[in-house]
Structure 1
Amino acid sequence: MSYLATTFNVMIASPGDVASERAIARDVVYEWNAVNSSSRKIVLLPIGWETHSSPEMGLPAQAIINKQVLSKCDLLVGIFWTRIGTPTEDHLSGTVEEIEKHIGQGKPAMLYFSSQPVAMEMVDLDQIQRLKTFKESCRTQGIYEGYDSHSEFKDKFYRHLQLKVNEHPLFFSNVGDAQFEHELIESIVKIPRISTESRILLKEASQDASGIIIHAHYIGGAAIQTNGKNMIASNERREIAKWESALGEGRSEWECQKFCV
């Protein structure tokens, strides 16, 4: 059964070393929809630069991502492990720029830092140091969450997503609009559609001195009269059927007297 719902974009922001967590985050969002979407009339749509950006020239790459993806984001999920990403003009990395611009607009962000073991030969010390600097700065700006395994990340993110959608004002402020639109559409759908002949008949009846339509059957034909006019131009069955159908469409709109001769 179809239903109207409000869509919220959930942007997954991260460097390139947490591909598994990005996939897990999407699955958790899809699972939330499967369980809650129908009752809450909310759909969460996971978005990211790799799926929701397109080629464009004339601006730095991060500025294009900000315009095409970040600007449409409602909730941001940031995930880090051993890398912070490539620096941009004004920020430690593109991911950090996305997070800080998003928070700067007063929108909610959820940050996760992995403490999973990693082989030292796979670690870029400069990346690690810049990541530590960013993580330290986050301590004074809010609460972030750590995790030790993929399964722990999934469990924590699923629970946190439930809490966020159930408690944050963002997910209540726009939901009523969908219900209003649903009621408006229903009211529009209920407006009856009547034929051209029925509209003509209604107009003539409104101009009749008594507001009466006379519907008469006689041997060989029929008549529908109002405002001094017989609407049935001939006794052909198709002509009679057309105007009798028009009369039936608008019967609740007018007073009708029926005679048989």
Structure 2
Amino acid sequence: MSFKADVLQVFIASPSDVSSQRDEIENAIFDWNRRFAEELNIVLLPNRWEKDVAPTYHPIEPQRIINETLVKKCDILIGVFWTKLGTRTTSAPSGTLEEIESFIQQQKEVLIYFVDKDIPREGINYDELKRVDEFKKKYTGLYSSYDKYKVIDHLYDKVVEYKRNNPESAFIQRELTKKKIEEVNLKNLIYSGSLTVNEFLLLGYILETGNRSFGVRWMADDSKNMILKWENQRSLGKSNLIDNYESVLENFLDRGLIEPKDYTEYGNVKLYKMPMPIFDELRNLAPVVKQEIYEVVNSHYFELPF
């Protein structure tokens, strides 16, 4: 099922000696999305210069192409170091450090990791290794030893912090929902032919029970049980409203028939409610209009064979 989400761009920055870690981080971001994107309504999009920058000429140096193409647009930087600091640029000891400094100046999130594994005896450039050690000593922020599972956990923490600091996205969504509710004409909607059978059934449930609250996530079971109880009392043997509960709520939300009323600590909706003006309109519909709803409900009546 689809869901609305913000997208945060994650820039993976490192010298050339940690290419395998760069691949691991990209896969870790995809794993993060599978586990947490729907829960937090945030999708993380990995960015790497070798994959996301087209071949382009710059009159001064290639690093500026990366800065203009990726560094400016990304929200989080993950930096990884092992035995190399990277190639010097005209304005920084290395391209990776220039990217990190740019993020810091823009007050964007920076996660720095150092690979903690044996250094090969052959082919090592000790001058480069010394530069890494010097940077590690001078870096005034917090850093961690590299572990892809730590990256997933740290990204989770950063996203939760982002949601707490950016409530305006939820506010905008609530304002859009409010605007839809103000534009609803329930009678016209019922006669429009656009409502699905399950939407008619849910309107019938609200009309007959007076229950206009609907839980989602862990609160969905109570709402589904109440609907199932109503269906049993009405002997509705052919209804599949329960199986399509989430999609019906999504339709109601899009039509302005319900609005978010309660949220989890992460800002996700856990309870929807039909606004009182819509509920009053439903109860005060002319009998001939209500009959349109009852006909759909009654068409699911199942007569027991005894």
Q: Give the TM interval when normalised to the shorter protein.
A: 0.5 to 0.7
Q: Is 1:163 equivalent to 2:143 in the alignment?
A: no
**Which whole-Å CA distance do the structure 2 matches of 1:113 and 1:83 have between them?**
11
Residue 176 (structure 1) aligns with:
170
**Aligned positions of 1:60-139 closer than 5 A:** 60-138=61-139
| Per-residue CA distance 1:29-85 (angstroms, 9 max, x = gap) | 111111221122111001111111112223420011000011111000000010111
**Which whole-Å CA distance do the structure 2 matches of 1:188 and 1:4 have between them?**
22
**Which whole-Å CA distance do the structure 2 matches of 1:5 and 1:104 have between them?**
27
**Aligned positions of 1:20-35 closer than 5 A:** 20-35=20-35
| Per-residue CA distance 1:153-186 (angstroms, 9 max, x = gap) | 1121122122221224686356437735874896
**Which whole-Å CA distance do the structure 1 matches of 2:88 and 2:143 have between them?**
22
Deviation at 1:142, TM superposition (A): 1.3
Identity of aligned residues (%): 35
Misfit runs of 4+, over 2 Å? 167-193
**Which whole-Å CA distance do the structure 1 matches of 2:182 and 2:55 have between them?**
41
Provide closer, same or farther for how the CA distance between residues 9 and 184 of structure 1 changes in structure 2, counting only shifts above 3 A. Answer: farther
Provide closer, same or farther for how the CA distance between residues 40 and 87 of structure 1 changes in structure 2, counting only shifts above 3 A. Answer: same
Provide closer, same or farther for how the CA distance between residues 56 and 181 of structure 1 changes in structure 2, counting only shifts above 3 A. Answer: farther
Provide closer, same or farther for how the CA distance between residues 39 and 115 of structure 1 changes in structure 2, counting only shifts above 3 A. Answer: closer
Residue 146 (structure 1) aligns with:
145
**Aligned positions of 1:176-255 closer than 5 A:** 176=170, 179=173, 183=177
Kept after mapping to 1: 8 A contact 2:42/2:159: no
**Which whole-Å CA distance do the structure 2 matches of 1:56 and 1:181 have between them?**
43
Provide closer, same or farther for how the CA distance between residues 4 and 57 of structure 1 changes in structure 2, counting only shifts above 3 A. Answer: same
List gaps (5 residues or longer) in structure 1: 148-152, 194-251, 253-261
| Per-residue CA distance 1:193-230 (angstroms, 9 max, x = gap) | 9xxxxxxxxxxxxxxxxxxxxxxxxxxxxxxxxxxxxx
TM-score, length of structure 1 as denominator length: 0.64
Deviation at 1:86, TM superposition (A): 0.4
Kept after mapping to 2: 8 A contact 1:84/1:131: yes
Deviation at 1:111, TM superposition (A): 0.1
Residue 203 (structure 2) aligns with:
none
Please tell me the residue identity of whatever aligns with 2:87: T
Residue 49 (structure 2) aligns with:
49
**Which whole-Å CA distance do the structure 1 matches of 2:65 and 2:51 have between them?**
14
Select the structure that is richer in strand: 1
Query: Higher Cα Rg: structure 1 or 2?
Result: 1
- Between the two proteins, the alignment pairs up a number of residues equal to 187
**Which whole-Å CA distance do the structure 1 matches of 2:107 and 2:45 have between them?**
20
Provide closer, same or farther for how the CA distance between residues 43 and 187 of structure 1 changes in structure 2, counting only shifts above 3 A. Answer: farther
**Which whole-Å CA distance do the structure 1 matches of 2:127 and 2:50 have between them?**
25
Provide closer, same or farther for how the CA distance between residues 171 and 50 of structure 1 changes in structure 2, counting only shifts above 3 A. Answer: farther
| Per-residue CA distance 1:74-121 (angstroms, 9 max, x = gap) | 000000010111000111100000001111110110000012102121
Kept after mapping to 2: 8 A contact 1:165/1:171: no
Deviation at 1:11, TM superposition (A): 0.5
Q: Tell me which moved more, 64-73 or 120-129.
A: 120-129
TM-score, length of structure 2 as denominator length: 0.55
**Which whole-Å CA distance do the structure 2 matches of 1:25 and 1:126 have between them?**
27
Kept after mapping to 2: 8 A contact 1:5/1:178: no
